[in-house]
Structure 1
Amino acid sequence: MALQHKRASLQALIDDALAETPPGRVVWVALSGGLDSSLLLTLAAQACRRHPRPLHALHVHHGLQHAADGFERHCRRLASRLGVPLFVEHVAVERDAGLGLEGAAREARYAAFARRVVPGETLWLAQHRDDQAETFLLAALRGSGVRGLAGMPTVREWQGRCFARPLLAHSRAELEAEAARLGLNWIDDPTNRDEALDRNFLRLRLLPLLQARWPHAAQALASSAAHATEADSLIDDLAAQDLAALGGDAARLPLAGLAGLSPARQRVLVRHACRRLGLPTPPQGRLATLLAQLEARPDAQAHVAWAEAEARIWRGGLHLLRRQPPPRGAWPLAWDGRSPLATPWGKAEATLVPDEGGEACLELRQREGGERLRLAGRGSRELKRLLQEAALPPWARERVVVVWHAAEPVAALALPEGRWLAVAAGWSAHPVSSG
């Protein structure tokens, strides 16, 4: 009777998860072809027959091993048998991206999710309790903080999409029992036996030892991850309150306000602000270096960079921003003032035309220093002074280009956003100049 209850509860769990998805929107199942995802798709198909909802399966073909084509064939057979549309995304895993093979494959997989799953839709992932236990151990061994120890969330928003793991509270043994009852077939990934991969080593060597001594080890580790999730939520709430108290601008944290917080709350706030901005959070060492510079002298221009992000201290604020890619191409650039503007710093939506009409032969150059513009009602002004008046940060000044006409500077443009900082008399710019 207890076993039958577990079987019924597993299907009921999927039915309940389906009820939580937006009506009329597609529910996707990430289908690898293994036990977990094959079972999830089967239970989802049964739930959608009782409670009609559009259901699609998504298989990501990594192309990392000869067996990959076999995974795809299995997924096609299963989806066909269940009457579920299957979409296959072929990806190229960047082995030299510095993320390791597992990390690079994950990046490629999530890029495939973003291409196929539309914002507002739900994607179900098939991780279970044993996976959560492994994730907790890996995070602990890497010295992760509370957020890392929290492991995989049951539900989270990602770029407007809902990612959910409805099986996360159940063990692999329960999934195996249900799959056997349903007579399911699945594909075992041969790389799952490769103990050179950290997760496999934990699964094949360490967890069996722990469970031999403590039979409920996986459940206990997953429970610890749940406690960490709760603690992380409280910490995030505290950081949100601190951010609001400091003005609410995640991109600029006032130094005076930061100085009034304890070092622990400073660290939490900077990480929280980075997440708000969609930036990677700084590793522990980089964050310590950054916070150590909060007491820098007022005229100092401290700069700390990590991954695709950077932090700069300027005019009493800690500025968090995305690192701009290096320029691609060379200066100067010829421009007619009307055509789409493609520069070494990226594309910009901007136009610049003479007030008297007609064609203009313009040239874009990087700043060299000493440029002056004749402004309407203000006369000749040094560009350096105009940039200071515009309160343009020093790092943004590096991307200011000067537009020349007939050997005379007529405008200054901030890239890559295409914002006019100054426009000389006799010229009209769009968007409207702020100078």
Structure 2
Amino acid sequence: MGPSPTDLPSRLLPSLEPWRDAAHWRIAFSGGLDSTVLLHLLAQLAKSQSLPALSAIHIHHGLQAAADAWPQHCQAVCDALGVPLIIERVKVLPGASLERAARNARYAVFNTLTEHNDVLLTGQHRDDQAETLLFRLMRGAGVRGLSGIPAQRPVGQGMLVRPLLNVSRAELEAYAKAHELSWIEDPSNQDRHFSRNYLRHQVVPTLTERWPQAQASMARSAAHLREAQGLLDELAQMDLAQACTAQDFAWLGLPSLAVASLAVLSPARQRNALGRWLEPLTRLPDADHWSGWSDLCEAAADASPIWRLADGELHRSTGRVWWLSGQWLRAPAIGADWQTPSLTLRLADNGSVMFSGAAPSGPLRIAYRQGGEVMQIAERGHRDLKRLLNERAVPGFLRGRLPLLFRGDELLAVANLPGLDGPAQGGWKLHWHPSGEDQGLS
């Protein structure tokens, strides 16, 4: 005999225990069975337990006529339970996957509304976990994807928590009927053109007919894979610690790794470490596109290979790989006259420059390397700029955007490079502050 629906409140409390000191619990309330039961459970628990302030969020996608009545239903349910409700209307952008577009619109709101020390609670359950595992298996997911829906993860400035992942849909239905709850049945949940609905209505019933414990078993497999992923993450952190070596251009604020530290690892271990490093920076390549990493590593020593990814590029230069995105991929404007050298000069797509000490006499201008530049160096005479940059092992991607200070045709300084950023006895230095843009995804 399975657990009674009356046991659900006591089963829910342990999974919520770590979050009892949160400032606010916000329930993502679609009005469907899962979130209706979750809302009711929490409202009932709040009568006997000291819980954070409760409120609900309903996202109105406006994708079908039936949905127009849902905000009113959700408001009535929340009013009856004494839980404040926020209703947010979103515009779902058209695309290849309507499911994904709706999810993106929904989570954009959740990210905005979840404040510091807030917890956003959602109603995914064990059946959802099994469907997710099957769906990702059909898409050829790796260990991370097959670890399923996580019980918690960051969202906005707080945490998203899924306290029902060990509860079956049948148990939620039993609870709803026992408490005479009413909920919305989304007509789109019957549309078997959607992959998840096909799995829910066609595949999972067939599996559970043959293996009654199939969903529980799949959830257990997902837990094993989550543990395996945790070990892979630990290994990646160890390998990245070896590759995040000190380097002379840390002031650029660009993520970079030493290639030699990665090259001694097996190919699978390289991909594991690099995938972990790239994850906050870009959408990761699929298995077929990891050949770009091999090409980057195997290029000739004097080459400057580039691996283009969804949200930026990896450049190999001076024994390192560098992550470039945003304005680092846009060529800076040719230059600008510096009318007021005592003030900071903002450069198009290239941060800003300023002097420390008294500025040299003018007229001054900032420009970028075109090739053939020569600079007068104390006790060395005239030297080609290319040679001077080589001596300082300046990465290739940086050479065309290092600000150069000219007076007429005379090259006076190269920003930020010791010995080239101003005269040895001159009392001034040229400082460049590269872009303040976030190098990762917003």
Same fold, TM-score > 0.5, yes or no: yes
Q: Report sequence identity in percent.
A: 37
Matching residue within 2, 7, 10 for 1:9: 7
Number of matched residues? Answer: 420
Cα offset, 1:315, TM superposition: 2.6
Answer whether contact 2:347 2:353 (CA < 8 A) is retained.
no
Q: Distance in 2 between matches of 1:106 and 1:331?
A: 43
The answer to whether the aligner puts 1:114 opposite 2:76 as a matched pair is: no
Tell me which residue corresponds to 2:314: 311
Cα offset, 1:158, TM superposition: 4.6
Measured at CA, do residues 102 and 384 of structure 1 come closer, stay the same or move farther in structure 2, by a change above 3 Å?
A: farther
Answer whether contact 1:376 1:424 (CA < 8 A) is retained.
no
Measured at CA, do residues 22 and 371 of structure 1 come closer, stay the same or move farther in structure 2, by a change above 3 Å?
A: farther
Tell me which residue corresponds to 1:60: 59
Q: Distance in 1 between matches of 2:233 and 2:358?
A: 53
What are the equivalent positions in structure 2 for 1:4-403 lying under 5 Å apart? 5-21=3-19, 23-49=21-47, 50-96=49-95, 100-158=97-155, 161-247=158-244, 251-275=255-279, 277-317=280-320, 319-324=321-326, 327=330, 336=340, 338=343, 341=346, 343-344=348-349, 348=351, 350-352=353-355, 355=358, 365-371=367-373, 383-385=385-387, 387-388=389-390, 391-402=393-404
Answer whether contact 1:129 1:222 (CA < 8 A) is retained.
yes
1:169-217 Cα offsets, whole Å, 9 max, x none, are: 1111111111112222222222222222211111122212222222222
Q: Distance in 2 between matches of 1:349 and 1:114?
A: 32
Q: Distance in 1 between matches of 2:345 and 2:111?
A: 28
Q: Distance in 1 between matches of 2:395 and 2:87?
A: 46
Unaligned runs of 5+ in 2: 247-253, 435-442
Answer whether contact 2:22 2:119 (CA < 8 A) is retained.
no
Q: Distance in 2 between matches of 1:361 and 1:110?
A: 53
Measured at CA, do residues 94 and 343 of structure 1 come closer, stay the same or move farther in structure 2, by a change above 3 Å?
A: farther
Answer whether contact 1:63 1:90 (CA < 8 A) is retained.
yes
When normalised by structure 1's length, the TM-score is: 0.82
2:114 alignment partner AA: V
2:260 alignment partner AA: A
Answer whether contact 2:131 2:199 (CA < 8 A) is retained.
yes
Q: Which of 1 and 2 has higher RCO (CA within 8 Å, sep 6+)?
A: 2
When normalised by structure 2's length, the TM-score is: 0.81
1:222 alignment partner AA: A
Cα offset, 1:83, TM superposition: 2.2
Measured at CA, do residues 352 and 256 of structure 1 come closer, stay the same or move farther in structure 2, by a change above 3 Å?
A: closer
Q: Distance in 1 between matches of 2:169 and 2:56?
A: 21
Measured at CA, do residues 145 and 396 of structure 1 come closer, stay the same or move farther in structure 2, by a change above 3 Å?
A: same
Answer whether contact 1:14 1:47 (CA < 8 A) is retained.
no
104-113 vs 329-338, which moves further: 329-338
Answer whether contact 1:411 1:420 (CA < 8 A) is retained.
no
Measured at CA, do residues 409 and 93 of structure 1 come closer, stay the same or move farther in structure 2, by a change above 3 Å?
A: farther
Q: Distance in 1 between matches of 2:383 and 2:78?
A: 69
Q: Distance in 2 between matches of 1:251 and 1:354?
A: 31
Answer whether contact 1:29 1:56 (CA < 8 A) is retained.
yes
Q: Distance in 2 between matches of 1:9 and 1:361?
A: 81
Unaligned runs of 5+ in 1: none
Cα offset, 1:342, TM superposition: 6.4
Q: Distance in 1 between matches of 2:356 and 2:141?
A: 55
2:270 alignment partner AA: Q
1:383-416 Cα offsets, whole Å, 9 max, x none, are: 54554455432223344455666666666569xx
Q: Distance in 1 between matches of 2:232 and 2:186?
A: 38
Q: Distance in 2 between matches of 1:90 and 1:374?
A: 64
Q: CA RMSD in A?
A: 3.6
1:81-140 Cα offsets, whole Å, 9 max, x none, are: 2222222333333324xx632223222222222211124322112111111111111111
Q: What secondary structure, in the 3-state scheme, does the structure 2 residue paired with 1:153 have?
A: coil
Cα offset, 1:261, TM superposition: 2.0
Q: Distance in 2 between matches of 1:19 and 1:79?
A: 24
Q: What secondary structure, in the 3-state scheme, does the structure 2 residue paired with 1:311 have?
A: strand
1:124 alignment partner AA: L
8-17 vs 201-210, which moves further: 8-17
2:18 alignment partner AA: E
Q: Distance in 2 between matches of 1:175 and 1:387?
A: 67
Q: Distance in 2 between matches of 1:79 and 1:320?
A: 51
Q: What secondary structure, in the 3-state scheme, does the structure 1 residue paired with 2:284 have?
A: coil
Answer whether contact 2:318 2:393 (CA < 8 A) is retained.
no
Answer whether contact 1:129 1:171 (CA < 8 A) is retained.
yes
Q: What secondary structure, in the 3-state scheme, does the structure 2 residue paired with 1:156 have?
A: strand
52-61 vs 238-247, which moves further: 238-247
Cα offset, 1:31, TM superposition: 1.6
